[in-house]
Every structure is written in structure tokens, then in C-alpha cells.
Structure 1
Amino acid sequence: MMTDPIADMLTRIRNASRIERPVVEMPTSNMRRGIAQVLKDEGYIWDFDEVETRPVRTLRLQMKYGPNGERLITRIDRVSKPGRRIYCGYRDLKPVLNGLGIRVLSTPQGILSDRQARDKKVGGEVLALIY
């Protein structure tokens, strides 16, 4: 039984990035779909789609690498965990590595990156840190 599906998703992406795998598959959910959309909008993956499989639908991410095969995702960490939730207001969202990385937030307006959250002036739970 999986107790933290977001950590499972981030671990799958981390492992795929380390071995330069072109495609990552995982069970789909609305939260995972939102995180995948943020990764696509911020340029960390090429695209994602849902595949009809049994017993659950599968989310397939097409990973993105540099022109010489260098990894775009060098570190991906879970910030807010089931045992300890971390919340942040939009005023407290400083750029990660001077804008080279992002935070993924769960806000009342959906799953957003820290850049989008600052623009919309909305805070929320910090799900992940990516750079």
C-alpha cells in the first residue's frame, strides 16, 4: 500500500532522470496530473499523456534532457510530507537558486509553480522543490 503517492511520483522521476530514461510511467491522479502540467510549463519535461490501462489509468511523462544528454532535473525533493505539512504565503516564496529552480505548490487555484503563485498572489502547501 502506497502512503505518499506524490513522493512515489518524484522518486520515479528522479530515478528515470539518473539513468536518462526517455519515458516514465505511473498510476494517474488529479494531483499527479497537476504536477506533470507544472513540470511541462516550466520546461522540465517534454509532454505527458494518459494511457488507458487496467486496473487504473497510467500517466506517461516524456522526459527532457539537454542537447548533450545532460539532465535538466538534477535534484527533486518532497518538501511537505504526510507527517509534517509545510505552508508558504506568496510573500515568502523567494526564487529557488536565483530562478534556476522551482517549488511546486498546492493552492486553492490548483497546482502551481512558485512563479505562477507569486504572479497570482496566492500561497499554499509546498509539495516539491525542483532544480
Structure 2
Amino acid sequence: MEEYKRTVLYVEDNQLNMALMHHIFKKNLPSILLLKAETAELGLSIARETLPDLIILDIGLPGLNGYEALDILQQDEATCHIPVLGTSAFAQVSDIEKARNKGFAAYITKPFQVKLLTETVERLLGGGL
């Protein structure tokens, strides 16, 4: 049985992105347990139940979008301390500024640059992986 030092929750509705993230973590961040949710609603439930060290949240989710889910996480005493990394294919300067202004700890555009994603996750987790 593997020993994980940290837990990250990835909320993403696209199965290809989910598979890519799983591969990135397995290869580049093997000491991190990656939990997955396909909807914001499920992600919120898992976040409350497991209190992960970091949440990676797609902004363009069906139902509750990433901004709405972030608002709920920030208003919940149990989850407000968890840093949230926003992800989206929207790469305009205005999109990045909007994400930062909403309170995301960081924002990464898709398609993911593996090195940037890995470094950002490590930074948001405070190192020690």
C-alpha cells in the first residue's frame, strides 16, 4: 500500500483531461493522492468529507461552474482554508485577472504545460513532497 504525503482533489468533467491529470500526478507527483470528481457538486461533497490539501477546479463545469463552486468553498468554514487552483481553456488576460480577482490561489490554462502545473501544485502545497 502506498503512503501519500498530501491529497489533491481534481474537479473536471472532461475524461481526457482527467486521464491526463492522473498521468501527470502518477509520473511527476507520485507522493500525492489524486481524488477526482466529475461535477462541482460532487467535488464540494468530497472536499467537505476529505479536506484535501489542494483543489484543482475546472471553471467551465456544467451545473455549478468553477466560480460558483469556489464561492461555496470560500464560505464554508471547513474548506475556506484550502487553496484552489483554477483551470480553463480561457487564456485571455481578462480571464486570468477574473480568476485571480475571484480568489483562486493560481490559474493555469489548458492544455496543461506539465512543468508549470507540477511547479504550481508543489508551490501551493508548500513543498515537502
Same fold (TM over 0.5): no
TM bracket, shorter-chain basis: under 0.3
TM-score normalised by length of structure 1: 0.27
TM-score, structure 2 length as denominator?
Answer: 0.28
